[in-house]
Structure 1
Amino acid sequence: MNIDQLPAPVLSTSLLQQAAAILAERRKLGEVGPLLTDTLRPRSQADAFALQQQVAVAMAEPIAGWKCLLPTPDKIVVAPIYQSTVARFDNDTADIQQCALWPSIVPASQGLARVEPELAFVLSKDLSPRAAPYTEAEIDQAIGATHLALELIQSRFSHDSGAGFFDQLADGLFNQGLFLGPELQPTPGFDGSEFALQLTFNDGRVQNFNAVHPNQQPRAGLYWLVNFLSANNIALLAGQAVITGSYAGVLDLPFGEDMRFQYGDWGQFRLRFVTKTS
């Protein structure tokens, strides 16, 4: 089976709606919980993706973007990002900007902000479902801007729930939002494969990372995503932002502290994480 062509889910529409209501409520309230009951748990990739899309219906808000990564033979990495969970860099202020997110519930990072450094590709035109695959050139032409970004990380399952890949795929693969940073102005020959990430804290501490994209080419996941969604009758829309994989894994960072994120010579931004309240 071509992994892009998902079969119909085994879970009934009624069961998908029941499961989605639970996951959507946790997402809205920033809560975590146990696994879904056995009758509601997804048992296949098709079930998991169908449940993920039913959560989007239950959320009843626009999808502002997507996260993705090139698939493996047995796993797809794809999830929507909701409009209310996106914070945007303000070019018109010199003040430290704030980004609200739910604190980590993972014991090793309890109470910290979990984020992943990424690039975000913002579309300037719709890419609607069609029979013929989109070419890389067509997709390149649909990219209106490239931004520095942070994916905001949190699962809706408790750390000791035993959630597997299908559970997490249904829940949105740990995504709790996106910080869309300043626009990157690519120079000739830019390939986006790696950069020197430097974090500077209030007290002068500095952390350095050799930031490398997991697929080397950061647009690779976008090329796959467009045609995967098209094959499953889902459109990508102008204005949506697509992130395609972390350059440095998950970073566990403090709340309430001013930090500077330097993405090599691509650009930088200053940010303070604050606890989300609603």
Structure 2
Amino acid sequence: MDLSRQRELARQLADLRREGRQQSGLDERLVPPDADTAYQVAQMVEEELGWDVVGWKIAGMKSGLQRQLRISAPIYGRVFAPLIKSSPASVEHARQCSPIPEVEFQARLGADLPPRAKPYTVDEVGDAVVSLHPGIELAECRFIHDAAFPPMPAIMADGSGSGTIVLGEPIADWRSRDVATQDVVLNCNSIERRRGSAAEAIDHPLVPLAWLANELSRTGIGLKAGQTISTGTLTGMLRPKAGETYVADFGPLGSVSATYS
């Protein structure tokens, strides 16, 4: 896929995101052939938009979700300003593109993790985290989920489903608490819809964060202080309806809510 086609796809995806709309399918000649090309296009989308990157999202850390997403490794995407909100938050359902609410731990960085030759360890990445939050990612996709839905590299070029991140209050003393095994419940209009834990879904929030630090180091991008990383769904995926309020209950670690108005 030559650079002119990459740029054509990037402009198309930037227009869709800027205008808050979707399309059905994608011209076969514009589908990236592999993950590296998809991420090159994603960087071009950032350039076309000219928006600040205030965070990142991660998906598919383990094999179960990878099978659902039709991938063989985790994927990531940019989170753009001003799409990080404090709980309780509300978004207009009609303006969301194939929305999916996902319960996730959100890590905010207090130090840069720049590109380097030596891989980052989980401990090093943990030292860079200034706060850990309960959160909900309101994922989106610029392609309609229909019979023409394009291959996964096109979705990765679009940011791997990145949308809005809703943050709860920082978890006090999170380093000394067993955040991985904490049972997390996703309620919709006060009815339980999903349940999970970091141990089951991602091992620990710092594990996907270390993976992302090394992926972005490899590609010469790096992570920056102040960015917020959504570390991967703990409760799977479901389709919201207009008027629904989702509350993620992290027990003693806090809670976070988002409404699709």
When normalised by structure 2's length, the TM-score is 0.85
Match of 1:129 among 115, 122, 127: 115
Change (3 A) 1:45 1:130: same
State the identity as a percent: 24
- 1:86-131 CA-to-partner distances (Å, cap 9, x unmatched) read 2223xxxxxxx3322554665xxxxxx5310100000001111112
TM-align CA RMSD: 2.4
Give the equivalent residue in structure 1 for 2:68: none
C-alpha displacement at 1:71, in angstroms? 7.4
Q: Comparing both structures, which one devotes a greater share of its residues to helix?
A: 2
Give the equivalent residue in structure 1 for 2:57: 67
Match of 2:42 among 44, 52, 55: 52
Give the equivalent residue in structure 2 for 1:5: none
- 1:123-161 CA-to-partner distances (Å, cap 9, x unmatched) read 001111112222222211100000111111221111112
Q: Is this contact kept in 1: 2:85–2:166, CA < 8 A?
A: yes
Give the equivalent residue in structure 2 for 1:17: 7
Q: Is this contact kept in 2: 1:44–1:166, CA < 8 A?
A: yes
Asked if 1:211 is matched to 2:170, the reply is: no
Q: Secondary structure at the match of 2:232?
A: coil
C-alpha distance in 1 between matches for 2:219 and 2:89: 36
Change (3 A) 1:193 1:270: same
Give the equivalent residue in structure 2 for 1:143: 129
Q: Which amino acid aligns with 1:79?
A: G
C-alpha distance in 2 between matches for 1:102 and 1:52: 25
Change (3 A) 1:195 1:24: same
Give the equivalent residue in structure 1 for 2:90: 99
Structure 1 stretches lacking a partner, 5+ long: 1-10, 90-96, 107-112
C-alpha displacement at 1:61, in angstroms? 0.8
Describe how 1:23-42 pairs up with structure 2 within 5 A.
23-42=13-32
Change (3 A) 1:198 1:133: closer
Q: Secondary structure at the match of 2:167?
A: strand
C-alpha displacement at 1:261, in angstroms? 3.5
C-alpha distance in 1 between matches for 2:246 and 2:149: 34
Q: Is this contact kept in 2: 1:199–1:260, CA < 8 A?
A: yes
Match of 2:176 among 174, 177, 188: 188
C-alpha distance in 2 between matches for 1:19 and 1:143: 34
Q: Which amino acid aligns with 1:84?
A: P
Q: Which amino acid aligns with 2:259?
A: R
Q: Which amino acid aligns with 2:30?
A: L
C-alpha distance in 2 between matches for 1:181 and 1:43: 38
Q: Comparing both structures, which one devotes a greater share of its residues to strand?
A: 1
- 1:196-224 CA-to-partner distances (Å, cap 9, x unmatched) read 415263xxx43163312312222111111
Give the equivalent residue in structure 2 for 1:118: 104
Asked if 1:221 is matched to 2:211, the reply is: no
Q: Point out the structure with max Rg over C-alpha.
A: 1
Give the equivalent residue in structure 2 for 1:7: none
C-alpha displacement at 1:184, in angstroms? 1.4
C-alpha displacement at 1:234, in angstroms? 0.4
C-alpha distance in 2 between matches for 1:154 and 1:260: 18
More deviation in 146-155 or 32-41? 32-41
Aligned length: 248
C-alpha distance in 2 between matches for 1:67 and 1:259: 19
Q: Is this contact kept in 2: 1:121–1:241, CA < 8 A?
A: yes
Q: Secondary structure at the match of 1:166?
A: helix
